[in-house]
Amino acid sequence: MSTLEHKKILLGVGGGIAAYKAPELVRRLRDAGADVHVMVTKAGQRFVSTLSLEVVSGHGVGVSLWETDSKHEIVHTDLGDAVDLVILAPATANLIARIAHGFADDLLTTTLSASTTPVLICPSMNTDMWENPLVQRNIDTLSALPRFSILIPGKGLLACGVDGAGRLPDPPQIIAAAAATLASNELDGVRVLVTAGPTREAIDPVRFLSNRSTGTMGFALASAFAQRGASVTLIAGPVDLETPIGITERIDVTSASEMTNVFDTAWNDADVVVMAAAVADYRPASPRSEKWKKSDASAGIELERTVDILGRTSQMPNRSNKLVVGFAAETQDLEANARLKLEKKGLDWIVANRVGGHASGFGKGANEGLLLGTAGKRVPLVRMDKAQFARSIVKEILESIHNRGAK
């Protein structure tokens, strides 16, 4: 199922330069499964064509407070309540102020005033405007109301030439925030601990041992759990990934020993543990404090085992009250090797995926494999992008999560 499958969304486009991104956002929302309707403010129409929005959305675009439907009835009060979510992107300082002070002087603000539908506000403006205390006061006013969620703008080079905060987040970030806003609460109160990415084991101040993991799968799993209402702690190795929307806490580490220390501290507070990190099995026994010269290469590197974090979970306190999910990246005998790892390490579930010479696994946008559980449980996971792959895993283990401790 797509991220926003069967969801009906109203996109409100304010009068900022970032309005030019609206057609692309509509297309991406539809790709995610949503039925998208659009309203554009009078100022917004100066930056984006209503015709382009009609074409990509498949619906007429609302622009006037006095528009009527086929029955000659004003429809603004109906659409706000008919959708599952309102997204305001871009939300200008002016639009935010009008909403915060209860104005209803155009189609968009009147629709918002006449409905109780959740609203995701995506601010976009000049850096000085964003940092203006009056704008921040309006943001705080809306943030205090359960109906409104704020997606903090990104940083970068703005149209005004300033390099700073105020950029409209890219469509994937807005879609992730929308999914989080609409997240079910079926995992409300469940605390999930996810590890992701590689570790780096120092050889000297310049070099290290590592692997091809990008952390994409672990981050997707963290996001999938958050979308279902769980409180998620994410322990991340050295990766270049933004924190998913809805994550409670992110802790960055570098080495296997650092990940072990953080993991041990976080273990007691977790109900579900998902070990998606590709932790190094070995590290240099004696890392050098100075750069290793080529002339020293003949000496070789003596390696020692790192702590098997996943393997020791079976002996950790309160293990019987937790659900532990591991990963098995294999190049051969996928199911047999994964099943052996499942049993040897005392896991509840293991995700097996083939890596090496295959169009999935490390560093790829897609994944496929098997979800194996105790008592011979076997769920094939067909090829799909990693976000969908993660949601499929979470969906399959939901019953196990709720039944944890009753083993």
22-31 vs 50-57: helix crossing angle, rounded to 10: 10
Characterize the bridge pairing of strands 303-305 and 272-275. unpaired
SS3 at position 80: helix
The most distant pair of C-alpha atoms in the chain lies apart, rounded to whole Å, by 87
Burial label for 184, CB within 10 Å (0-12, 13-18, 19+), is: exposed
Q: Which of 145, 160, 206, 398 is catalytic?
A: 160
Q: Tokens at residue 353, please? A: 């995926």
Rounded-to-5 percentages of helix, strand, coil across the chain? 35, 25, 40
Residues with Cβ within 8 Å of residue 332, at least 6 apart in sequence: none
Active site residue 160: yes
Residue with tokens 């109900």: 271
Residue with tokens 């085992």: 305
* Contact of 351 with 328, CB cutoff 8 Å: yes
Residues with Cβ within 8 Å of residue 146, at least 6 apart in sequence: none
Distance separating alpha carbons of residues 327 and 32, to the nearest angstrom? 27
DSSP per position, 121-187: EEE---HHHHH-HHHHHHHHHHHTSTTEEE---EEEE-TTS-EEEEEPPPHHHHHHHHHHHT---TT
Distance separating alpha carbons of residues 7 and 100, to the nearest angstrom? 26
CA distances from 404 to 61, 231, 318, 330, 342 (A): 49, 16, 11, 28, 17
**Catalytic positions, written as ranges:** 160
